[in-house]
A and B are shown apart, each in its own frame.
Chain A
Amino acid sequence: MSMQLAPWTVGVPLFFAALLVALGEKLPRLVADLIALLAGGVTAAACALLFRAARSGPVVYWFGGIRPRSGVSLGIDFAIDRMGAGLATLAAVLVICALLFSARYFEKPQASFQALLLAFLAGICGFALTGDLFDLFVFFELMSTAAFGLCAYKSREVGPLQGAINFATTNTAGAFLTLTGISLLYARTGALNFAQMARSMGPHDALVLVGFALVCTGFLVKAAVVPFHFWLADAHAAAPTPACIIFSGAMVQAGLYAVARLHGALFAAPLPGFRPALLGLGIATCATGALLCYAQRHLKRLLAFSTVSHSGAILCGIALVDPSAYAGAALYVVGHGCVKAALFLCAGMILHRLGSVDEVMLHGRGVRLPWLGALFALGGLLLAGAPPTALFLGDSMLDHALKGHAVARAALALSSVVTGAAVLRACGRVFLGWGPREPDAPGGGETDEEPETDRGPIPWSMWLPAVLLLALAFASGLVSREAAGRDAARMLDPHAFAAQILDGAPPALPAPPPEEPLGPGLLHAAGTVVAAAALAGLTLGRKRLPQAVRGAVASVWSPAAAALRALHTGEVGDQVAWLTLGAAILCGALALR
């Protein structure tokens, strides 16, 4: 039975990580690469099969054969629903692409890098599939520790070290707040299993609300939501490119998934403060991320801030606690993951071939790389919401679900337009030589980031994953929105879930939410794509605009960009101060309703 595959998703990558560390230096490079790819492939296959098996409801696997007795669960289970299995499969695919990309990326054999990637994969699979709150925390920490290791990998410059320190400190502080929240929830419910906790939660008083808010804080830190987002750009600038693709493609989204999953599994009715709090944070994140994205000249930081912005969009969807919104958010995650990962791989190829990631310094130097330019431009168009990817589907579903929240819809549109425009602008500057040779925003930010590899022609092991990911992005557009809607409805029904886990009842079959026609979505996508291209074109061709227009725009844009950038000092003390404030805001917003 396919549920027997559940322990493989965690056991296989961990075992092979240990094997690679023990034997890595002694094996020939090709053998080590193949072992790593095999482990990744087996895990991806297991996750995909579990995804298929969860079609008709969550698949439950009790570790150690320890089943619940009279409503008290004594062991740990994996309660594999489609959303979790989907996230795990996405992560596995991204790890395989990272392994492929890193095969020629480092000169010497890198068994420790591959082992860290596999440990990360095990962490995120366990995180996405588990049904126990403390187990969620343990796999969260495994994922984080592997991520810290990947970020700091062979860092010898102060910049990358600073990025890794910021990453590790803020995420660990967030994790401790999550643990505090878990303790508070345990004090109330006497349980750690989601289903059992849902049943024994009692009245939603200050203890439950503060506990839940603190639990969400750590996950929102991981999700790079304002005001917890300061670490993301630093970490991306520090980490080697293969690591960046899994940070932006799966890790950030895992934090968002956890918030959605926990609320859905623990509370039957939405908490009163949940929607306003998360909508507010989501809108702020969309806007801040988009503006900062446009103000960057470091390509990896640009893409990192675009991840922040899209994370805000997903958060707006999660805030609604509604099946069609959750389905839209899930599709958004899948589409965004593939596109963003492909864009990061393109940035890695630019760094490898041209020796820099500074957009302004690269002006026109990519003219003889039309294929790379085409890939990059395609990624930019898809990021702006071009059909037919899952990102387009998710965006249109979210836009539809947010009817009545005009500010949120505007923020989502802003996010698509500005982040897509930033990529298209960079593409035009680097590959076509268009645009002025000066930065588009005040405040420095120039980078002399050294290539991580020897410069040279781009090998197939770098091309192939980027092309594959874009192809996957297109293929993801074929996902059934109805199935996603049904899975989301199941995710939001804790009573049926608890009955299945604790009483052995069969899984529920909820009615899917009504599916809206794609017409308005296509119109919306056309609008965002055209606006993105127009914004990019106007920025690049600004010398041709009349002086009055340029002056007006600059008088608004320059102070805003400068102020936002001044807040990002890169010092860990500032980041933790914002984290404390953010945690307090979240607690207050949830508890004061």
Chain B
Amino acid sequence: MKALRLLLFAAGALGLAAAFVGAGRKLPPVGSYAGAYGEVLNAVALGERRATDVVSAVNFDYRGLDTLGEEFILFTSVLAVATILRRQEDEEDEEDEPKWEPRKAPESDAVRTLGGVLVPLMVSFGLYMISHGAVSPGGGFQGGLVLASAPLVVYLCATAKTFLRIAPPGLTRAGESIGAAGYVLIGCLGVLAGKTFLENVLPLGTPGNAWSSGTILFLNLTVGLAVAAGFTELLSVFVEEVLRREA
């Protein structure tokens, strides 16, 4: 069986490699791309949306529907992971669980100090990245991830109890749902204003300010909330066994 598998793969890989070579010869050489879509976006995004970061403008305005789908992919995946890993109420405890030594809080001063320094740094940097998505590289997804790393550092540098106190399951679930539903609601602002879904109907401000680009700022905030809460929930679900026994 294994030999058959490798044979099939070898044939397939050779074929795909040949296909790639054939297609690659017709690709424009790296560095000489001239597609219309990108050029028009670069030309108009600053003027039309007052957003200096064109990539964010694309993600949250021109192609905002993609980001709605993407945010809900994250939401669905966290939901699925929670149903896969969370212990159900009707599951019995196994009798042969090994004796569990609760992990003590790290005694090293270096670790605790590092934690104490890193966490506020990460939180503030994360919030900065989220709110300045339209101004500089960053945005809801990237900033949300940085924000979600802060509870992880807390877990590593302190005990599970502390982690649960700052990120209880109810809070993360609520945050995720509010972030996800918030995107849809902000999209509805356009409909309420008599225009289309996800239209940028808020005042646009001046480029370079955090408070600019209309709905892009608020979409970044909701996405940041959803991503931060979602990844924190992922973390807590993966270590749930540990949390359940320690806390």
Contact = CB atoms under 8 A, between A and B. Distances in A.
Interface of A: 4, 6-7, 10-11, 14-15, 17-19, 21-22, 61-66, 69, 72-76, 108, 112-113, 115-116, 119, 122-123, 126, 134-135, 138-139, 141-142, 145-146, 148-149, 152-156, 184, 186-192, 200, 205-207, 209-211, 213-214, 569, 573-574, 576-585, 587-588, 591
A51 to B, nearest CB: 20
B187 interface: yes
Contact of B196 (A61, A69, A584): A61
Interface string B13-28: 1111011101101111
Interface in B1-50: 1, 4-6, 8-9, 11-16, 18-20, 22-23, 25-28, 33-38, 40-41, 44
Contacts of B62: 64, 66, 74-75
Interface stretch (B71-79, B113-121, B132-140): B71-79
A21 B177 contact: yes
B210 interface: no
B72 A122 contact: yes
Contacts of B68: 10, 14
A576 B178 CA distance: 38
B61 A19 contact: no
A78 to B, nearest CB: 9
- Report the contact-size class of chain B (Cβ under 8 Å from the partner): 35 or more
Contacts of A138: 66, 69-70, 73
B84 A152 contact: yes
B187 A581 contact: no
B38 A149 contact: no
Interface string B186-205: 01101100011111100000
A146 to B, nearest CB: 5
B19 A578 contact: no
24 contacts: A6-B197, A7-B191, A7-B196, A14-B68, A63-B65, A64-B196, A65-B195, A65-B196, A66-B62, A74-B37, A112-B82, A116-B79, A138-B70, A142-B72, A145-B77, A187-B28, A191-B35, A210-B19, A574-B1, A579-B12, A580-B13, A580-B16, A581-B8, A591-B23
Contacts of B181: 15, 18-19, 22
Contacts of B144: none
Interface of B: 1, 4-6, 8-9, 11-16, 18-20, 22-23, 25-28, 33-38, 40-41, 44, 61-66, 68-70, 72-73, 75-77, 79-80, 82-84, 88-91, 173-174, 176-178, 180-181, 184-185, 187-188, 190-191, 195-200
A11 B197 contact: yes
Contacts of A184: 23, 27
A584 B84 contact: no
Contacts of B88: 154
Nearest to A156: B91
Contacts of A206: 19, 22-23, 25-26
A142 B69 contact: yes
Contact of A14 (B16, B26, B90, B180): B180
B32 to A, nearest CB: 11
